[in-house]
């Protein structure tokens, strides 16, 4: 089995939660939505996560996660285990495929008074794009980035996740540059650097009060602090080729469906538009 460790561990305070209840032929009654967890270590962060849970298992037993999500309240201390997954969709405004990532809730754990806030990750897969230094428009270095990929839950295609390496961590930069070659199977761990930043800007006017506009900017970094070699579940070249080809086919399918909807006059949602065809984690259905 190909290695695909993918774990997010967060302990903090529930800042907000939005729940939508619905039904579907496959899952039956379910709830979905998103929440934001406020974490105070290693810095104060607001971390958004998505969730989904059917009310019952395939055997007809009550699903624990459903009840836990239903009972969550703002201000409650929470300990959550989740995953980081790719999030790609067609943006009709820009006329292009948009690729990003999102955090998903998998388990809600018991939290004690002694548990300290944290936001950590571990991830294994293969190197899709090697480490490179990024620069802003002024030519100033903004840090280093690397893209890793792993097989999705159904082993149908790969999902690609971007990671950051702090330029101050010179040992990590040097090692990853030398050792993390394209196609190599690796496992990394580190901390989240997530936040939702609200910025207020004033627009000058000829007379009267200035026009005030408010914008939200999302920071969503996964900062690598350590890594280890992987000897089991290694991605061979044929595995990588198959997964990459399937992911490219998934990209084309999303675009084709978007153009088909556009020609038919159907409305294309920009909230959850034409999402990828990754196999849903069956443990949540």
285 falls in which pLDDT band (50, 70, 90)? very low
CA 272 – CA 249 distance, rounded (Å): 20
- pLDDT score for 15: 96
Residue indicated by tokens 């067609």: 90
- Exposed / middle / buried, residue 215 (Cβ in 10 Å: 0-12, 13-18, 19+): exposed
Whole-structure pTM value: 0.85
Residue 275 confidence (pLDDT) above 50 = no
pLDDT tens track for 172-184: 999 999 999 999 9
Q: What is the pLDDT of residues 96-109, one digit of tens each?
A: 999 999 999 999 99
The C-alpha atoms of residue 275 and residue 248 are separated, in whole angstroms, by: 14
What torsion, rounded to 10 degrees, do the Cα atoms 245, 161, 152, 58 define? -150
Per-residue confidence (pLDDT) for residue 267, from 0 to 100:
52
- Mean pLDDT over the full length of the chain: 89
**pLDDT for res 266:** 57
pLDDT in tens, 35-60: 999 999 889 999 999 999 999 988 88
Residue 52 CB neighbour total at 10 angstroms: 19
Interatomic CA distance for residues 244 and 254, integer angstroms: 16
Q: What's the pLDDT at 277? A: 42
Give yes or no for residue 136 having a pLDDT over 90: no
According to DSSP, the residues that pair with 22 across neighbouring strands are: 30
Helix (H) or strand (E) holding 84: strand 77-91
Q: Which two tokens stand for residue 43?
A: 């810095």
Reading the block at residue 234, the tokens are 């290694």
Cβ–Cβ < 8 Å for 101, 8: no
CATH 2.160.20.60 fits 6-278, yes or no: no
**Which pLDDT belongs to residue 94?**
87
CB of 126 closer than 8 Å to CB of 235: yes
């Amino acid at each position: 089995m190909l290695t695909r460790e993918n774990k997010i561990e967060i302990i903090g305070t529930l800042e907000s939660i939005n729940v939508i209840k619905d039904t579907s032929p496959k899952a039956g009654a379910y709830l979905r939505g998103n929440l934001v967890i406020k974490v105070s270590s290693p810095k104060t962060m607001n971390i958004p996560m998505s969730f989904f849970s059917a009310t019952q298992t395939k055997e007809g037993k009550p699903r624990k996660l459903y009840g836990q999500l239903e009972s969550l309240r703002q201000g409650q201390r929470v300990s959550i285990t989740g995953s980081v997954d790719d999030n790609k969709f067609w943006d009709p405004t820009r006329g292009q495929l948009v690729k990003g990532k999102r955090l998903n809730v998998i388990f809600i754990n018991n939290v004690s008074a002694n548990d300290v806030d944290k936001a950590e990750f571990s991830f294994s897969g293969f190197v899709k794009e090697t480490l490179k230094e990024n620069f802003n428009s002024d030519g100033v270095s903004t840090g280093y980035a690397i893209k890793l990929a792993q097989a999705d839950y159904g082993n149908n295609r790969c999902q690609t996740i971007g990671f950051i390496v702090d330029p101050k961590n010179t040992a990590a930069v040097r090692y990853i540059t030398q050792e993390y070659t394209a196609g190599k199977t690796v496992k990394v761990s580190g901390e989240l650097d997530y936040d939702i930043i609200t910025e207020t800007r004033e627009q000058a006017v000829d007379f009267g009060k200035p026009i005030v506009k408010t914008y939200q900017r999302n920071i969503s970094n996964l900062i690598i602090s350590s890594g280890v070699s992987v000897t089991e579940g290694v991605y061979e070249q044929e595995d990588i080729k198959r997964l990459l080809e399937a992911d490219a086919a998934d990209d084309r399918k999303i675009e084709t469906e978007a153009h088909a909807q556009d020609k038919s006059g159907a409305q294309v949602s920009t909230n959850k538009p034409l999402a990828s065809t990754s196999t849903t984690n069956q443990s949540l259905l």
